[in-house]
Amino acid sequence: MKLLEERILKDGRVIGKDVLKIDSFLNQQIDLNLLEEIGKAFHEAFSDIPLTKILTIEASGISVAVMTAREFNNCPVLFAKKDFSRIMVDDVYVAPIHSFTKGLDYHAIVSKRFLSKDDHILIIDDFLGNGDAVAGLIKICRQAGATVEGVGIVIEKSFMRGIDRIENKGVRVVSLARIASLKDGKIHFMEED
């Protein structure tokens, strides 16, 4: 998505060799005009799927998921909560996740009330790195017997290979921007196929 790539080049800041900060338009301040275009792009990519809900994880996935849901007739948006205290309860689906950016382990939790075998789910997240967060969300859907129809990612850090991990689970992934490298503080996008 050209508009997104231009914005990443303009406002993205590289931290170390593998983290990108985009807090001026998504991770802290949110640019609704850009997010509206992102929602439209995901709608175009997944217009063929029988969607009942969009699933994401707090916090940064929520705004993207909401703007995408606007394009899918305001379908419900469900977000997994992050539980760092490891308090387990019976009425939730749970998946352990390692946070790449924080270096911590946590559990993603979704109430059993909001996810069932009748659901057809589009998973949305802001970044795909090692694929841990998305793999956790897929695990939660599968615990519920829900069908994962696809995964929409705003920025895929292709050099971290999380994409292979998710596609190996038989799930289609659409990424709007694909980063080949962040070496030497420079952002390089993947060449188009």
DSSP state of 183: G
* In contact, 80 and 137? CB cutoff 8 Å: yes
Number of residues that bind ligand 5GP (CB under 6 A): 18
Q: Which of 68, 162, 175, 178 binds ligand 5GP (CB under 6 A)?
A: 162
Q: Which of 78, 133, 144, 176 binds ligand 5GP (CB under 6 A)?
A: 133
The answer to the question of residue 127 lying near ligand 5GP (CB under 6 A) is yes
Q: Which of 101, 111, 116, 168 binds ligand 5GP (CB under 6 A)?
A: 101
Strand partners of residue 151: 123, 173
Q: CB-wise, 128 or 144, nearer to ligand 5GP? A: 128
Residue 12, number of CB atoms within 10 A of its CB? 20
* In contact, 134 and 169? CB cutoff 8 Å: no
The answer to the question of residue 128 lying near ligand 5GP (CB under 6 A) is yes
Q: Which of 125, 150, 156, 158 binds ligand 5GP (CB under 6 A)?
A: 125
Strand partners of residue 98: 105
The answer to the question of residue 12 lying near ligand 5GP (CB under 6 A) is no
- Of the candidates 152, 169, 148, 141, the one whose C-alpha atom is nearest the C-alpha of residue 67 is 152
Residue 157, number of CB atoms within 10 A of its CB? 24
Give the C-alpha separation, 101 to 81, whole Å. 17
Q: Which of 129, 151, 163, 176 binds ligand 5GP (CB under 6 A)?
A: 129
Q: Per-residue string for binding with ligand 5GP, 29-68, x by CB under 6 A?
A: ----------------------------x--x--------
Give the C-alpha separation, 79 to 171, whole Å. 19
Site residues (vs ligand 5GP, CB under 6 A): 19-21, 27, 57, 60, 100-101, 125-133, 162
